[in-house]
Amino acid sequence: MHLAPRALRRAVAAASIALLATAVGCAPQPEEKASDNASGSTGSTCAKGKLATKTSGRLTIATDEPAYEPWFKDDKPANGKGFESAVAYAVAQRLGYGKSTVVWQSVPFNKAFAPGEKTFDFDINQVSISTERKKAVDFSSGYYDVRQAVIALKGSKAAKATGIADLKGLKLGAQVGTTSLNYISDVVKPSQQAAVYSKNDQAVSALKNGQVDAIVTDLPTAFYVTAAQVTNARIVGQFENQGTTPEQFGLVLDKGSALTSCVSSAVDALREDGTLAKLEKQWLSDAVDAPVLK
């Protein structure tokens, strides 16, 4: 059947549009900007209370067991007391999750930053941010600037140390996988091998029983140990930070987690509005200046 000239022109135009649409659909499309699809990207993925969490509508937070003071209170992370418990809930609130929608989970310290998929949304457990650990997990912005300290029994040779050289001949101990242990091996470089413990309370017991001359922990923990756990011990001193940036504790997340930048933004906001400083003053007020070991 022959078409009238006007009908023919319409048919040709329609066919051209269809061909153009097909060509566009089959042609390689411009790549989206990396920032639009990067893990942890902000924007709609950070909608309050609607993050891509392990359990929809809930935020799963992990820490070790037992949960030590002054980071937690009464070994109960969920009570909101202690510096890290308070920080965790403050971050959760920023992300749109109230206390009733936060679920706590027990995860051993070393397992928190070991390679492999995590069962939590973030872990808070005095984990120092490091390049090596970043190979296996993501970290949020730092929520606490920390220094390492040495604890020894009062009246002991170790308690009289005034510098790093005085520690070299001593038997020192620390928890496995910690920067405390790194400071022993990398800064002190003692003549005898350090004693390594799976948990910090084991290191504290070793100090109390005289199995080691001194132990190394972060400074706030050192104040708690000497005030409540080993009252006949004292803080010998603290180490200077190594490198140009301070050692910081960060929240631990899955490698490539879509939550990383959302959580970091929450931590940054808490630092900027003074919340972190306020919580630090409330829960870590005893972590004041201690002699610096050089």
Under a CB-based contact definition with an 8 Å cutoff, are residues 57 and 48 in contact?
no
What is the pLDDT averaged over residues 60-82?
96
- What 3-state class would DSSP assign to 23? helix
288 pLDDT tier (thresholds 50, 70, 90) = low
Look up residue 59 and give its amino acid.
Answer: L
What is the pLDDT averaged over residues 254-277?
98
Q: What is the pLDDT of residues 182-219, one digit of tens each?
A: 999 999 999 999 999 999 999 999 999 999 999 999 99
What is the pLDDT averaged over residues 172-178?
97
Detail the DSSP E strand segments found in the chain: 59-63, 102-106, 122-123, 137-146, 148-153, 172-175, 195-197, 214-218, 233-239, 247-254, 292-293
Under a CB-based contact definition with an 8 Å cutoff, are residues 227 and 218 in contact?
no
Is the predicted pLDDT of residue 122 greater than 50, yes or no?
Answer: yes
DSSP state of 252: E
Is the predicted pLDDT of residue 156 greater than 50, yes or no?
Answer: yes
Residue 154 CA to residue 151 CA, distance in Å, equals 9
CA dist 62 to 2, 65, 88, 134, 231, Å?
76, 10, 10, 18, 30
Residue 58 CA to residue 98 CA, distance in Å, equals 9
Is the predicted pLDDT of residue 11 greater than 70, yes or no?
Answer: no
Under a CB-based contact definition with an 8 Å cutoff, are residues 188 and 237 in contact?
no
Q: Tell me the residue length of the chain.
A: 294
Is the predicted pLDDT of residue 93 greater than 90, yes or no?
Answer: yes
What is the pLDDT averaged over residues 94-120?
97
Average pLDDT of the chain to the nearest whole number: 87
- What 3-state class would DSSP assign to 61? strand
Under a CB-based contact definition with an 8 Å cutoff, are residues 41 and 258 in contact?
yes
Detail the DSSP E strand segments found in 23-65: 59-63
What's the confidence (pLDDT) of residue 291?
Answer: 87
Handedness of CA 94, 97, 100, 105 (dihedral sign): negative
Side-chain-facing half-sphere of 72: CA atoms under 13 Å: 20
More confident position, 154 or 19: 154
Is the predicted pLDDT of residue 264 greater than 50, yes or no?
Answer: yes
What is the pLDDT averaged over residues 76-81?
98
- Closest residue by Cα to residue 206 from 220, 191, 221, 216: 216
Q: What is the pLDDT of residues 214-234, one digit of tens each?
A: 999 999 999 999 989 999 999
- Class of residue 255 by CB neighbours under 10 A (exposed 0-12, middle 13-18, buried 19+): middle
Look up residue 154 and give its amino acid.
Answer: K
- What 3-state class would DSSP assign to 21? helix
Look at 4-8, 50-54, 284-288 and tell me which has the smallest mean pLDDT: 4-8
Is the predicted pLDDT of residue 117 greater than 60, yes or no?
Answer: yes
Identify how many contiguous H helices and E strands the chain contains and give both numbers.
9, 11
